[in-house]
Amino acid sequence: MNPKASARAAAIAGHLSMRNASSEVKDTSILGLGNPMASMAVERSKASFPIRELTYFLDGGKEMTAVKERIMTELERDPVFQNVDFYDLTKEQLRERTMSKIARLIHYITSEREEISHLRLSLVGLIDMSLLTRTGVHYALFFGSLRGSASPKQFSYWISQGAAEMKGMVGCFCMTELGHGSNVAGLETTATFDERTDEFIIHTPHTAATKWWIGGAAHTATHTVCFARLIVKGKDYGVKSFVVPLRDPKTYDLKPGVSIGDIGKKMGRDGIDNGWVQFSYVRIPRQFMLMKHSKVDRHGNVTQPPLEQLAYGALVVGRVSMVADSAQMSKRFVTIALRYAAVRRQFTSKKGEVETKILDYALHQRRLLPLLAQTFAMQFSSDEMSAMHRALTRKIDSTDPGDRTAMAIVIEELKEVFTTSAGLKAFTTWACAQTIDQTRQACGGHGYSAYSGFGQAYNDWVVQCTWEGDNNILALSAGRGLVQRYLEVQRGTKAPPQTEYLNNLARLKSAQAGSRQIDSVAVLSEAWEAVAAAVVSKAGESFIALRKKGLTADEAFEETSQQRFLAARIHTQCFLVLKFFDRISSSGPQIQPVLTDLSYLYAIWSIENDAGLFLQAEFFTSKQIDEIRELCNLYCRKVREQAVPITDAFNLSDFFINSAIGRYDGNVYENYFTQVKRQNPSKPQAPYFENVIKPFVHRAAEVEVDGEELDEDEP
């Protein structure tokens, strides 16, 4: 026995004391991290309000909560929807899985009321954004186009073909082209009327006119609604929509003249089989043109509708639901980060003591709690937006298109909904992207693990900022609406409620906080209205000045684009603040205090972010801006106390949260370790050990060629 081995043997005898020494160390160190589950329990015990009340308030009543919970249970228990391995799926697996889920969802979609289906789909969107979109491609885009643009007879025909049930046919939506996205009017695919055969010839004239990003096209769609330029007798009537069969629904063989390929890997949403589509002189019956609005008869006579704007009303639906999704998704991620912050401890001022919860650090509160408050603001504005949209839809349906006066009012309201939804869609989808990113960073290194849920969600989410109206383009369009509204007000027309502040320009111009208490609904509302009024006025006045200089309206709009963008941003911010305050007034007394704190935090934090504008508008003094920074800290501390109970009120189960570090019980280290081990079972060696690692690590010394040996002998 060598000396070391014998010493070791002796050490075995002393093993018990060794273990004791080690477990002593263990106890001291465990103390540092505290007990995460106990830490979480402490947070819950602080609740100053009935959590269930807040849930009902957010859901829109006890009954709605019950419906939501039923749907959540159905999804959670369904084996097809199990998502424990979600973050490890490849693109191919995601696509197959998504389709299996659609096949499962169809039972509910075809058998329940539309509002319930919407609720179900919005919950589905929380756990799988690709699934929501891929279902939406058929129902919202394809079927929605039929409903909005087909004549009644055409609509019945497509229903009879299975369009309502995805039976015998699956639809997609060929709008975007490689070369044209935002500029829909510039699309280049052609639909040329051939009077001899009573057909349209659908054709892709060149590569950049290839239909692109078409969800469902690569694998699943049998039919599409295709946007193409209507050409009759050599005349271009602009872009209309046509149903084009793509594949034989039995064999899935491509129809003659149709070329389809896979768009391949994307930043996210890999569960959607986006494809590209080219048409080479594809013939469809004339009757496949959707003719609710524009019509072409047997002899090539074209009739165009007087109010084509109504055809675009359908675009608003997508925006409205993206605002709702922004609130919904934010709930999920602020919940994860706040739960983690409530149990994660790091650093202590006194050695040997339990370390401090990261939620107790002032900066950490600053990073997360305004995002929590923003989540409420987004939900309440979304509720308001949905109500506006429902009211408008009812009005459109009940107004006689022949009644010009009534229709003018409807069109005016449609414009307002367009502007408001454009701004809200842009700034809430951005806010949600920022929320996912910031909450991830607030979870430090562990936020980077796929199993915490942030990475996948961020990648899946951010397409919301560029699709269905790129956010910048939408913001500019909202800004254009605001400038136009300003001009109308200057001409004496009263502004509608959404821009009420434009009716009070004179008062707001000289408004100041003065000696009033800043954290009050009166001052905070007026502050936002004053700044919105100032920014919109400035854009409007610049526009007027440029027009006077001789610029065309288009030129003047372009020249003021930065100001329009700012106007849209501040207007939307103002809308979010005001709707938050409005909504609180209808809350019960038990939850009103916590909602009030959240609303003040939101309004104050937003002022701080745009301090320059409030100083320029002279609503606050420089000293008051300092005070606002302090108030922001103060309301962070207040909200911090209720942070976990508030997120509990969002009522999202672990299945919907789907994060190893954001589970309800707070047992973060064990949950996370378990998840990592389950998804990555130990293997003795890497799959490429024999091929790559071994030859590399065991490589022999490189033979150094000694050039001198090869030298010719010199004399």
CB atoms within 10 A of CB 249: 15
d(CA 120, CA 163): 20
13 and 334 in contact (C-beta within 8 Å)? Answer: no
Minimum distance from CB of 402 to a second copy (Å)?
31
d(CA 605, CA 610): 9
Among residues 425, 533, 559, 550, the alpha carbon closest in space to that of 480 is found at: 559
User: Sign (positive/negative) of CA torsion 435, 59, 584, 388?
Assistant: positive
201 touches a second copy by CB under 8 A: yes
Among residues 601, 638, 685, 121, the alpha carbon closest in space to that of 377 is found at: 601
Site for a second copy in 559-588 (CB under 8 A): 559, 561-562, 565
222 touches a second copy by CB under 8 A: yes
- Catalytic hit among 43, 188, 384, 468: 468
For residue 501, what are the CA distances in angstroms to 92, 485, 504, 523, 537?
52, 11, 5, 14, 11
| Residue nearer to a second copy on the CB measure, 48 or 110 | 110
d(CA 505, CA 486): 10
Site for a second copy in 102-131 (CB under 8 A): 102-103, 106-107
d(CA 294, CA 228): 13
Site for a second copy in 458-477 (CB under 8 A): 458-459, 462-463, 465-467, 470-472, 476
Site for a second copy in 339-358 (CB under 8 A): 346-349, 355
d(CA 124, CA 71): 10
411 touches a second copy by CB under 8 A: no
Q: Binding residue for a second copy (CB under 8 A) from 75, 209, 432, 508?
A: 209
Residue showing tokens 């693990």: 449
Does residue 712 have an active-site annotation?
A: no
Q: Binding residue for a second copy (CB under 8 A) from 60, 61, 261, 305?
A: 261
User: Sign (positive/negative) of CA torsion 8, 12, 17, 21?
Assistant: positive
Among residues 532, 540, 534, the alpha carbon closest in space to that of 568 is found at: 532
For residue 285, what are the CA distances in angstroms to 2, 298, 326?
94, 11, 41
Minimum distance from CB of 310 to a second copy (Å)?
23
> Binding segment for a second copy among 69-77, 255-263, 297-305, 375-383 (CB under 8 A)?
255-263
d(CA 368, CA 79): 34
DSSP output for 666-704 = --HHHHHHHHHHHHS---SS-TTIIIIIHHHHTPPPPPP
Minimum distance from CB of 582 to a second copy (Å)?
28
Among residues 243, 229, 144, the alpha carbon closest in space to that of 185 is found at: 229
409 touches a second copy by CB under 8 A: no
Phi, then psi, of 564 in degrees rounded to 5: -65, -40
Q: Binding residue for a second copy (CB under 8 A) from 77, 167, 394, 516?
A: 167
Minimum distance from CB of 180 to a second copy (Å)?
7
Q: Binding residue for a second copy (CB under 8 A) from 41, 66, 84, 267?
A: 267
Q: Binding residue for a second copy (CB under 8 A) from 60, 61, 168, 588?
A: 168
Site for a second copy in 171-200 (CB under 8 A): 176, 178-183, 186, 188, 190, 192, 194, 196-199
416 and 347 in contact (C-beta within 8 Å)? Answer: no
| Residue nearer to a second copy on the CB measure, 379 or 560 | 560
Site for a second copy in 414-443 (CB under 8 A): 437, 440-441
Which positions ≥6 away from 85 have C-beta within 8 Å? 679
DSSP tag of 254: B
Minimum distance from CB of 524 to a second copy (Å)?
17
Minimum distance from CB of 234 to a second copy (Å)?
6
Minimum distance from CB of 254 to a second copy (Å)?
8
Site for a second copy in 28-47 (CB under 8 A): 28-30, 32-33
| Residue nearer to a second copy on the CB measure, 82 or 493 | 82
| Residue nearer to a second copy on the CB measure, 63 or 630 | 630
| Residue nearer to a second copy on the CB measure, 281 or 312 | 281
306 touches a second copy by CB under 8 A: no
633 touches a second copy by CB under 8 A: yes
d(CA 659, CA 671): 9
Site for a second copy in 601-630 (CB under 8 A): 610-616, 618, 622, 625-626, 629
Q: Binding residue for a second copy (CB under 8 A) from 114, 554, 708, 711?
A: 554
Which positions ≥6 away from 30 have C-beta within 8 Å? none
d(CA 384, CA 527): 21
257 touches a second copy by CB under 8 A: no
Element of type H or E holding 626: helix 622-648
Minimum distance from CB of 526 to a second copy (Å)?
19
Site for a second copy in 653-682 (CB under 8 A): 669-670, 672-673, 676-677, 679-680, 682
80 touches a second copy by CB under 8 A: no
| Residue nearer to a second copy on the CB measure, 106 or 307 | 106
| Residue nearer to a second copy on the CB measure, 391 or 553 | 553
Minimum distance from CB of 45 to a second copy (Å)?
23
Site for a second copy in 682-701 (CB under 8 A): 682-689, 691-699, 701
The three-class DSSP label of residue 82 is coil
Q: How many residues bind a second copy, per CB under 8 A?
A: 168
> Binding segment for a second copy among 137-145, 230-238, 587-595, 645-653 (CB under 8 A)?
230-238
Alpha carbon 464 to its chain centroid, in Å, reads 5
Q: Binding residue for a second copy (CB under 8 A) from 170, 258, 311, 432?
A: 170
Q: Binding residue for a second copy (CB under 8 A) from 68, 203, 293, 339?
A: 203
Minimum distance from CB of 391 to a second copy (Å)?
32
Minimum distance from CB of 33 to a second copy (Å)?
5
Minimum distance from CB of 4 to a second copy (Å)?
6
The three-class DSSP label of residue 321 is helix
71 touches a second copy by CB under 8 A: no
Which positions ≥6 away from 447 have C-beta within 8 Å? 337, 439, 440, 441, 454, 661
For residue 672, what are the CA distances in angstroms to 87, 447, 665, 667, 669?
13, 11, 12, 8, 5
Q: Which residues are catalytic?
A: 468
